[in-house]
Amino acid sequence: QQQQQQQQQQQQQQQHEMMMQQQQLYTQQQLQQLQLQQQHLYEQQYYGQPPHYGQQQFQQRPGHLQGQAVSYTPGPPPAPAAGTQRSGRPGAADPFSSLLH
């Protein structure tokens, strides 16, 4: 009878471990989903209302999961801001001025 009791205890412990493992897996999946949702939210904030480009471009992006794969290059807009800062100073002081000319 003692032996049987021991076996039962072991089985219970195994079951408990399995449950814990399953719980861990589930939370990991939830985390991944949360991360994806957050990424999507971030992308919406980042790409949502771009001042320089029409909004249509962004609504046509294929699915938010592929957001990174889509080659979206926000090229020119940052440049003018930098240019206006530079033009205030003499060109020689700016290491990048040689690249512009």
Domain count, the chain: 1
Produce one character per residue of 73-90: b if its CB has 16 or more CB atoms within 10 Å, e if not.
eeeeeeeeeeeeeeeeee
Per-residue pLDDT, 33: 76
Note whether residue 88 is domain-resident.
no
Per-residue pLDDT, 55: 45
Note whether residue 36 is domain-resident.
yes
Q: Is the pTM of the predicted complex or chain greater than 0.75?
A: no
Note whether residue 42 is domain-resident.
yes
Per-residue pLDDT, 34: 74
Task: Tell me the per-residue pLDDT of 5-28, one tens digit each, with 9 for 90 and over.
Answer: 666 666 677 776 766 666 666 566
Distance of alpha carbon 13 from alpha carbon 22, whole angstroms:
14
Q: Which domain holds residue 30?
A: 22-47
What is the CB neighbour count within 10 angstroms for residue 9? 10
Task: Tell me the per-residue pLDDT of 46-101, one tens digit each, with 9 for 90 and over.
Answer: 655 555 544 444 454 455 554 445 555 555 555 554 445 555 555 455 566 566 65
Distances (CA, A) of 54 to 27, 57, 76, 79, 97: 39, 6, 14, 19, 31
Task: Tell me the per-residue pLDDT of 23-50, one tens digit each, with 9 for 90 and over.
Answer: 666 566 777 777 777 766 666 666 555 5
Q: How many residues does the chain have?
A: 101
Note whether residue 96 is domain-resident.
no
Distance of alpha carbon 9 from alpha carbon 15, whole angstroms:
10
Per-residue pLDDT, 10: 67
Cα distance from N-terminal residue to C-terminal residue, the chain: 92
